[in-house]
Amino acid sequence: MNATFHKPHLNANRSVPVGERRLSFFILSVLGIIALSIIALQTRFDPSTWRAQPADEIQPQPGAAVTQGLDASPVSGLQALSPPEAYDAASLSDKINGKAELYLSAGFERLENRRFRLSDHPEHWLEQFVYTMDDHASAFSVYSQQRRANARTLDLTVDAYQAANGIFLVQDRHYVEIIGSASSEAIVAKMTDLARAFVQAHPAAAAVKDERALFPETDRVTDSLSLTAANAFGFEPFDQIFSAKYRRGDRTAMAFLSRRASAAQAEELAEAYVAYLIDYGGQPVARPEAAPPFQVIAILDMYEIVFSQGELLGGVHEADDLDLALELAEALYRNASEASDAQ
């Protein structure tokens, strides 16, 4: 090889012909177009073709009645923040892990929920949960069992209250929770609107007449009426038990009532409960002569009274004063008798 050619880049400074320059420019433009197309392409993306998205895990059953529960259109100033979600009994625990059992044991059918944002306060949002239960009693049961302290009763429906950042109500067989991200006035106003819209869209079938009407009013603790769907007072056969708290001075008691399928069953269950109490160390106490056929049990410094009257099973639970217990039981028994006679 000729040694004169060892110098590298003999031509580094050769003049670049116009054609070459134009070609370079053209190629660079093509690369630019490719880059831009790819950037444009990546915005077109549908993640649901790759993996199930949380929202489509549950699809509405074809033919099932569509609940309008998540319709926020009557309320102005709300924007949807998330797609509507729905859960059935099998998937409920995916949404409310830990509390699902409460709903399932009460007779749960379906939960629909959706988040909304306030148009004029985009940093505030609220979420509406509509639990559709088997019937009104189931809805009342889950409502009453999680009633918040410091609640303010609302006159939206028979059973409705407002806590610091939430509105909770029962309408027909729906239990509705509307939870706000804060407790500001703006949110509360929108929550109230949303609740009212729901109540209007879901008129109750008829006024429900049940055991709740039979609880004496005197000394009753406001909003203490509740319905326990199963395993009330730790006694497994006790299901569908309505109860209310009473307070006189510093003495307290709880009254309970439950309608059973037949008088015989009511009586049988009353006996079983008494046996259960005695099993756990209860001592039978003689009742006053004049009193109705109660069974009175003293247990752990408290008093329990159990009776059956027709199909109704009733009594007093954990009363710390025998007089109060007897008085309450008598009033309850009287109401129960009237109800039985009326039928």
Partner 1 sequence: MRILTTRRISQLFFFLLFIWLCVVATLGERWWQLRGWPINWFLQLDPLIGLSVLLSTHTVYAGLIWGVVTVALTFVLGRFFCGWVCPFGSVQQVMGYLGGRGMTFARRIQRNQPHPAQRVKYYILLFLLATASAGLLQWMLDTSQPGILRTILLVSVGALALTIIFKHLRNGRRAALVITLVIAAAGVILHLTQAQPLTASLQTGLLDPIALIYRSVTLVLLPLVDSPVKIVSETPRIYPSAGLIGLLFLLFLLLSLRIPRFYCRFICPLGALFGLLSRWSIWRIGQKTDGCTDCTRCEQACEGACAPAGKIRTSECVLCLNCLDECGHGVMTYHTQLSARGEQIIPDLDRRHVVAAMVGGLAAVPILRLDGHASANWRPDVIRPPGALREDAFLTRCIKCGQCMRVCPSNVIHPAGLQSGLEGLWTPLLHFRIGSSGCQHNCVACSQVCPTAALRPLSVDERMGRGRFASTGPLRIGMAFIDRGRCLPWAMDTPCIVCQENCPVSPKAIFTRTLFQPVRNSVRTVQTVAADSLVLEKGDLQPEQYGTGDYFCRIGDLRPVPIITNTHQKLILSVKDDLPALDRISGRTIDILIRLQQPYIDPHQCIGCGVCEHECPVQGRRAVRVSAENESRTRAHKLTLS
* Residue ranges binding partner 1 (CB under 8 A): 1-2, 5-6, 10-11, 16, 20-21, 23-25, 27-28, 31, 34-35, 38, 41-45, 47-52, 56-57, 59, 90-91
Residue for token digits 């949110």? 187
In the complex, minimum distance from the CB of residue 175 to partner 1, in angstroms, rounded to a whole number: 24
Q: Which residue, among 211, 128, 213, 214, has the nearest Cα to 171 in the 3D structure?
A: 128
Q: Which CB sits closer to partner 1, 48 or 340?
A: 48
Q: Which residue, among 209, 218, 207, 208, has the nearest Cα to 334 in the 3D structure?
A: 218
Q: Which CB sits closer to partner 1, 225 or 274?
A: 274
Neighbours of 168 (CB within 10 A): 23
Q: What is the dihedral of CA 123, 129, 130, 134, to 10 degrees?
A: 180
Q: Which CB sits closer to partner 1, 43 or 150?
A: 43
In the complex, minimum distance from the CB of residue 46 to partner 1, in angstroms, rounded to a whole number: 8
In the complex, minimum distance from the CB of residue 159 to partner 1, in angstroms, rounded to a whole number: 33
In the complex, minimum distance from the CB of residue 43 to partner 1, in angstroms, rounded to a whole number: 6
- CA–centroid distance for 337 within its chain: 35
Q: Which CB sits closer to partner 1, 92 or 322?
A: 92
Q: Which CB sits closer to partner 1, 8 or 249?
A: 8
Report DSSP letters for 312-333, one per residue: EEEEEEEES-HHHHHHHHHHHH
In the complex, minimum distance from the CB of residue 181 to partner 1, in angstroms, rounded to a whole number: 24
CA pair distance 192, 49, nearest whole angstrom: 39
Q: Which CB sits closer to partner 1, 158 or 275?
A: 275
On the 0-12 / 13-18 / 19+ scale of CB atoms within 10 A, 142 is: buried
Task: Give me 155's structure tokens.
Answer: 């006159």
In the complex, minimum distance from the CB of residue 335 to partner 1, in angstroms, rounded to a whole number: 36
